[in-house]
Amino acid sequence: MTIRLGDIAPDFTQNSTRGQINFHSWLGDSWGVLFSHPKVFTPVCTTELGEVSRLKNEFDKRNVKVLGLSVDEADPQKKWERDIHETQGHEVNFPMVSDADRKVSDLYGMIHPNANNTLTVRTVFIIDPAKTVRLTLTYPASTGRNFDEVLRVIDSIQLTENHKVATPVNWKNGDDVIIIPALSDEDAKVRFPDGWETKKPYLRIVPQPKK
């Protein structure tokens, strides 16, 4: 199955390191980050899980719940968590789905046979409170994921949900933004009474509005 932007994230019920999880119910009214791992005791993912645990307060501030996934049973995952705490200095503070039957991996298209026909690829999904998929990122096994980028995208999506703006290249929270072309100058004057800089009729730069 291929998950595309705008699709409803498939629901599932699966065991995890924190007990059984029904995904949609577990998310509730929160945003979600679902990210997969090839298997337990893998070196790159060890560093990633430590980093996501370190960033928990940043995800909490954005009303984001994080859920990991591996094609292993929960007990080996719990043993792996001890290694993560020892080597990365942070206890894993979010659930890890046990997907030994590959139910979730198949639902979300996490098995790429040409890369490996049994192990999940290292994919990230950002899911909004309406359970809509807003971002997918797939990394090769050798490259650690950048969770500062995941947070940056969440900031962008949450900002642009409520304002008629888009975020430019390399944008970070607090930087100037772009008024979307679909908003006329007349309507823009209402939304942005302090004005904007017009570089081209389709490229209007304005200070970031408050979220």
Burial of 113 (0-12, 13-18, 19+ CB in 10 A): exposed
Q: How far apart are CA 10 and CA 24, in angstroms?
A: 8
Place of tokens 């090839």: 38
Tokens of 197: 């800089």
Kindly list the distances between the CA atom of residue 153 and the CA atoms of 44, 45, 77, 149, 160, in Å, as whole numbers in the listed order. 22, 21, 28, 6, 10
Tokens of 93: 């503070």
Q: How far apart are CA 95 and CA 12, in angstroms?
A: 14
Is 23 strand, coil or helix?
A: helix
Instruction: Let me know: does 120 contact 38? Beta carbons within 8 Å.
Output: yes
Q: How far apart are CA 83 and CA 104, in angstroms?
A: 25
DSSP 133-183: EEEEEEE-TTS---HHHHHHHHHHHHHHHHSSEE--TT--TTS-EEE-TTS
Q: Name the catalytic one among 27, 33, 40, 45.
A: 45
Active site residue 45: yes
List residues with catalytic annotation: 45
